[in-house]
Chain A
Amino acid sequence: MAFSIAACGGGAATQPTAVAPQPTTAAAAEPTAATAAEPTTAAAEPTAAATTGEGRVLRLWHYESPQGAMGAAWAEAIKQFEASHPGVKVEFEQKGFEQIRQTANMVLNSDQAPDVMEYNKGNATAGLLASQGLLTDMTDEATKRGWDKILSPSLQTTSLYDDKGVMGSGKWYGVTNYGEYVMVYYNKAMFEKYGVTVPTTFDEFEAAMDTFVKAGVTPLAVGGAEYPAQQIFYTLALSKANRDFVNAYELYQGDVDFKGPEFTYGAERLVDWVQKGYISKDATGMKAEDMGVAFENGTYPMMISGSWWYGRFMTEIKGFEWGTFLFPGNKLHPGSGGNLWVIPENSKNKDLAYDFIEITLKQDIQTILGNAGGVPINADVSKITDPKVKELIQNFDTVVKSDGLAFYPDWPVPGYYDTLVAGVQELLSGAKAPAEVLDEIAIPYKDNKDAMGS
C-alpha cells in the first residue's frame, strides 16, 4: 500500500489505486471543462431541510492535504456551505489516507461515522462497502441534481457499483469531483541539453531514452518499491490492449489471459527497459516519494506517474522548466475519476451531505481546484490562468474524449496492490522471468473471480 499522504500537490504522491490513495486531480470529463455544465451559483440551493439548519452539524472527513488542489478547493466549499446554510456548523476532521483505508469498514459500521467523507474508488474499497450496505445510494439525488450530466460516462465508472460491489454499473454510491491520469513528466532543461524533443510515438519515446542512456543518464525515475512501477507495467500492457481487455480485467466482463499478448508484452518490455538502462536496477529500492524527489532534483529527465504530483511540482520545482505529455502511442492510460465523496448509511444529515457535494462540483470551486494543479471536471477554463494547468486539463480531455481511462492495475482484486508491487519488483530485479511473474499474479485474480462467482 502506498503510504504517502494522499495529497495531490501537497504531500507525497500517493497511490492511485484501490489500495492507495490517490489524490489526484480532477479531470475534465467530457463535457470537457471547457464545455462543462452550465455554471451554477456558488452557493448550493439549500434544500428544504437545510434551510432549517439551526444547531445542526455536518461532520466531514477527508484526507487531502490543505496545500493540495483538492484541499484548497474543498476548504472554499466548506466556507460556501456554511454561508448558504446559516446555523449549520461544518465539523471537519483531517484524516490520513491510511487511517481511512484501514478503519473505514469499522467506522462506517458504527454510529461514529461522519455525514460525508472522501473514500477510495474501486471494487475493493467503495465497492466492497457499498455491497455491504454501508454506503448511501445516491442515485435519485445524482439524477435530480444533474450530477449525472456533469460527470462523463467514463468518470461515472468509479461512482457506480452493482450489488456485488463491481464498479461501472448499478447505483450511485459515490461522487467524484476531479479526475486523475498517468502521464509522462519531463525535464525541459535536460531535454534541451541532450537535444531530445518531445516524442509522439512509442519508437520516438524509446529513441529519446536511448539518447539519454548513451549520454550516461538514466532516463526514467521509477519508484519500484511502491505503486509507480506497476503503473508503468500496466501502461505498457495497455499499449497492446483495447477497451474490451480493460473491461474484462477491471470489470470482469470476460476472461483475462495473463499470458496473453497484453500482459506478456507489458512484462517483457519492462524487463527489456531495465536491460537497456531506461530504468535503473536501483528502482526496486525507491519509493514513490524518492522517485518524485529525484525528478524534482533534476536527477532524471522523465517520470511516468500520475496527475497527483502536478500541484506539488508546480510549487516545488524551481530550478528548471518542466512539462508533461501523454504516454506516446497509447490510446489507453491508467486513470479514472478521483476519489469519491460517499455518504455513510448511518449519516443523520444526508440532506446536508448532498448539498455539500453539490457545492464541490460547482464551477467556481472546480476552477480553484484547477488553478491549484488539480484536474477539474467542471471548471470555467477561461479562468484557468496557468498554462501548465491548461496543458494538464487538455491532456485529460484528450484521454476522456477517446474513452482512454483504463483505471489502475491493482483495482480488480482486494489486496492486489501488494501482489503487484512484489511481482513487478521481481521483474525489475530479474529475480523471476516474466512468464513466472505473470503466473503468480494470475492466481489471486483467478481466486477472486471464482469467489465472486462471476
Chain B
Amino acid sequence: MRSRSRTRITRTRWVRNACVGGGPCSPAPFELAALAPLPCCRRYIYSTQGTVQYVRPQAAAHTFFVHHRALLVERGCSVARKASTLNKGYWPFLVPGLILFIFIIILPLLMNIGISFTNWNGIRNPKFIGFENYIRLFQDKAFWASFRNNLAMIVAMTIVPTIVGLFLATFLFDYIARVFKRGKGITSFFRAGFYLPQILPVAIAGVVWGWILQPGTGVLNWLLDGLAKATNTTSLAHNWLGDASTALGTVMVIMIWFQIGYPLVIFMAGLQRVDPELLEAASIDGATWLQRFYYITIRIIQPEIFVVVLTTVIAALKVFGPIFVLTRGGPGNATLVPSYFAYQNFFGGTNRVGYGASIATIMTIIIVILTIVFIKMQSKENI
C-alpha cells in the first residue's frame, strides 16, 4: 500500500523593485500576483526598512521596497503528497536505534518514575509510599533553593551566551571578516578560541577554575592583590567560591565562559545563509549596522536562535558537572541545583533513592514541557 505523507512546501525567491501603493514606479513594480501562490500560502518579505512584512497571498502590486531586491519567502500549508518510492523500506534501519532508545531512555525513565513512588535505600525491596516523596519534596527548602539557582543557570547558560554570541558572531562575520585583510583567519582563530571551553572536559576545566579561584593561592586573587599593590588601592581579592554571596555569581561567570562558544559557532554557520546582497542593499538604503543586524540578521537566523535557546535551556536545567567539580552545591546550598540534589540522594550516602528519583522525575517533566513549548513556538514561526 502506498503511504502518503504530509509536507509543507516553502519557497524563497528574490523580488525586485516593488513599489509602494501602486504609485509611479520605475522600473515596473513586481507583481506578486503573478507568482501563483501555494495552497494557503503565507508570504513574507524581508526588507531593510522595517520588520518582516506579511503579504496577503492574493495581494497584487504590494510594494514597500525601493531600489533593490528583497527576499520573498512563501510557506504553503501541509499538503498530502504521495510517498516517494525512495522512502519505502526505511523502517528496518530505525530498529537498532529504536531498541537502544527503548532500553536506554524509555525503560529507565519508566523505572525511575516507578521508584519515585517508593521508599528505597537502593538495595532490596522498595516500599510503595504513593506521593509521599513528592509531598516532602515540595516542602523541602533545598529543593526550592535548587530551582532558584537553576534560573540563575538559565541566565548564565542561555540568555547571556545567546545575546553575546549573536553580537560576537555578527561582529566576527560581518565586520572582522570583511574589514581586515586577513579577516577570515582572524575570525577562524577567534571562533576556535571561543569554542575551546566546549571541547575541554568539564572536570578538567572545573578543576583549573578551582585553582584559579582558590582563595589563598589562586591566580585571580594573586593578580588582584598585585593590582592593588601597584595602584595603592584596596585589593579586590575575595573568597569567590567559598562565600555564599558570591559563589553563585562566580559559577555563573564560569558557565558563561563555558557556553559562549556554542551559540557563536551555530550563529556563524547560520550567518552563511544571509545573502550579502541583502545586507548590501540595506546599507545602500541607509540602514545602520544595528538596523541590519536587527531587521535582517536576527530574522534570518531565527531557526538557529531557537535551537540554541532550546538546547541551552535544557543543558542549564540539567547542569551537573561544573557544580559537582566547583562547589558541590555549597557553600551551604548557595549553588545547589536539582541534578546535583538528585545525585546527593542517589549516591550521597543518604540511601533515599526514591526521593532522588522524584527529583529526577520533576526535572524530566519540566524539561519535556519546555521542549514541547519551544518546538510548538518554532513551528508556528514561519521562518
Contacts and interface: CB of A to CB of B under 8 A. Distances in A.
Interface of A: 1, 18-19, 101-102, 105-106, 109, 124-125, 128-129, 132-134, 224-225, 280-287, 290, 294, 297, 299, 414-418, 421-423, 425-426, 429, 431-432
A286 B330 contact: no
Contacts of A18: 349
Contacts of A106: 122
Contacts of B344: 415, 418
B241 A285 contact: yes
Contact of B328 (A125, A225, A431): A225
A283 B242 contact: yes
A64 B52 CA distance: 66
Contacts of B280: none
B217 A294 contact: yes
Given A417-B349, A429-B244, A286 B123 contact: no
B123 A429 contact: no
Contact of A286 (B122, B216, B244): B216
A133 B351 CA distance: 16
Contacts of A290: 214, 216-217
B213 A285 contact: yes
B244 A431 contact: yes
A425 B331 contact: yes
B239 A281 contact: yes
Given A282-B242, A286-B214, A19 B348 contact: yes
Interface majority SS on A: helix, strand, loop or mixed? helix
Contact of B123 (A129, A224, A416): A129
Contacts of B214: 285-286, 290
B22 to A, nearest CB: 71
Contacts of A101: 347, 349
Contacts of B351: 124, 128, 414-415
A1 B348 contact: yes
Given A415-B351, A418-B348, A294 B216 contact: yes
A284 B217 contact: no
Interface residues of B, number: 31
B348 A284 contact: no
Interface string B235-258: 000011111100000000000000
B16 interface: no
Given A282-B215, A285-B214, A429 B348 contact: no
Nearest to B343: A102
A287 B198 CA distance: 26
Contact of B121 (A128, A294, A432): A128
21 contacts: A101-B349, A102-B347, A105-B121, A128-B123, A132-B123, A224-B242, A225-B242, A280-B216, A281-B239, A281-B243, A284-B239, A294-B217, A299-B216, A414-B350, A414-B351, A415-B349, A418-B328, A422-B332, A426-B331, A429-B331, A431-B331
A429 B347 contact: no
Q: Name the residue among A1, A225, A285 with the largest chain B CB count within 10 angstroms.
A: A285
Nearest to B247: A285
List the 3 shortest-distance A-B pairs measured between CB atoms, nearest first. A285-B242, A415-B350, A282-B215
Contacts of B328: 1, 225, 418, 421
Contacts of A431: 244, 331-332
A285 B215 contact: yes
Nearest to B250: A285
B292 interface: no
A43 to B, nearest CB: 37
A426 B243 CA distance: 9
Contacts of A134: 123
Interface string B319-332: 00000000111111
Contacts of A1: 328, 348-349
B345 A415 contact: yes
A298 to B, nearest CB: 12
B124 interface: yes
B216 A105 contact: no
Nearest to A18: B349
Interface in B210-226: 210, 213-217
Contact of A284 (B122, B213, B329, B331): B331
A147 B184 CA distance: 74
A417 B351 CA distance: 13
B246 to A, nearest CB: 10
A132 B122 CA distance: 10
A102 B349 CA distance: 8
A297 B239 CA distance: 20
A432 B242 CA distance: 15
A224 B352 CA distance: 25
B293 to A, nearest CB: 41
A65 to B, nearest CB: 18
A129 B121 CA distance: 10
Given A282-B215, A285-B214, A294-B217, A19 B349 contact: yes
A225 B216 contact: no
A285 B352 contact: no
Contacts of A421: 328, 330
B302 interface: no
A5 to B, nearest CB: 14
Contacts of B10: none
A401 B243 CA distance: 41
Contacts of A287: 210
A361 B194 CA distance: 56
B298 to A, nearest CB: 40
B364 interface: no
A56 B213 CA distance: 52
A105 B350 contact: no
A387 B345 CA distance: 44
A133 B123 CA distance: 10
B371 interface: no
A329 B332 CA distance: 31
Contact of A282 (B239, B332, B350): B239
